[in-house]
Structure 1
């Protein structure tokens, strides 16, 4: 397999796992909203199960997104990375998204102890963070703006 073919496979897998990761990372905070706004103990119990399972289900997608993205960076090389300032911003946003994902583990534990420690409105706003990050990442990856040159 040529380096170009390998790059294309990494890119395809990176995008597929990224879509799966984001599907979950968009839905999980919506479950938090339902949890915060419900007063029914049975609903809380069901949502706790759904939240935990979803988070553990999407975590491998996040890891594989990073693995194949790192593989692409490896193929492009350090020289390319040093020159592509837009990629530095993208990597910063990805680091932020990984922190967001890890923070969701904290939220799942905290919601289990107290379903109403944050409002539904707070979780709605929290839910918009990955949407904004995704828009910025896609714009950077597609337009590859000349930043800092």
Structure 2
């Protein structure tokens, strides 16, 4: 198994990077849609109806699959011999960042349900929360590239 992972390493890494880019795009865009929904959406009328469709398709068709592929490819990279040294700090800080991004993804899914039920947050709050994926990205990229 480890020989297969080592041979497939560049392909798995490429898949991982593509999936993470797609996931991050959704993590940046969905809170922005929530801002528009909270500030301009009237329930059952335009623009709320269009925003609901956009939010659903972004989460269900792009973000969820991208997160799953990111996790699977990432775990395969971790299992590849010689890639991760768990005696160093960087794998742990990266893992914390990935868990934070996953929590944010799940929080967004919950907020989508809350908006549909008419219990969403104010647009300003969604604007503030929109900064979290950037913080997680900084931690993850610095962990992997700088290996701090």
Shared fold, TM over 0.5 = yes
Aligned match for 1:104, one of 108, 120, 127 = 108
User: Which residue in 2 is equivalent to 1:72?
Assistant: 77
Check whether the contact 1:33–1:123 (CA below 8 A) recurs between aligned residues. Answer: yes
Task: Tell me if structure 2 keeps the 8 A contact 1:73–1:81.
Answer: no
Matched, 1:87 2:91: yes
1:57-77 CA-to-partner distances (Å, cap 9, x unmatched) read 210110001101100100136
TM-score by length of 1: 0.88
Query: Take 2:41 and 2:77, find their aligned partners in 1: how far apart are those partners?
Result: 47
Residue 43 of structure 2 is aligned to residue 38 of structure 1: no
1:111-131 deviation per Cα after TM superposition (whole angstroms, max 9, x unaligned): 01116x311110001111001
Q: Which runs of 5+ in 2 are unaligned?
A: none
Please give the root-mean-square deviation of Cα atoms over the aligned residues, in Å.
1.9
Q: Which of 14, 20, 29 is equivalent to 2:16?
A: 14
User: Whose helix proportion is higher, 1 or 2?
Assistant: 1
Tell me how many residue pairs correspond in the alignment.
143
Q: CA deviation at 1:89?
A: 1.1
Gaps of 5+ in 1: none
Q: Give CA deviations for 1:93-148 in whole Å, capped at 9, x if unaligned.
A: 11111111111111111001116x31111000111100111011111110012xxx
1:49, CA displacement in angstroms?
Answer: 1.1
Alignment match, 2:144: 141
Provide the rounded CA distance (Å) in 2 between the counterparts of 1:65 and 1:25: 13
Question: Is 1:59 aligned with 2:64?
Answer: yes
Change (3 A) 1:113 1:136: same
Q: Deviations over 1:5-55 (max 9, x none)?
A: 411111111101100111111100000000111054311111111111110
Q: Calculate the TM-score normalised by the size of structure 2.
A: 0.88
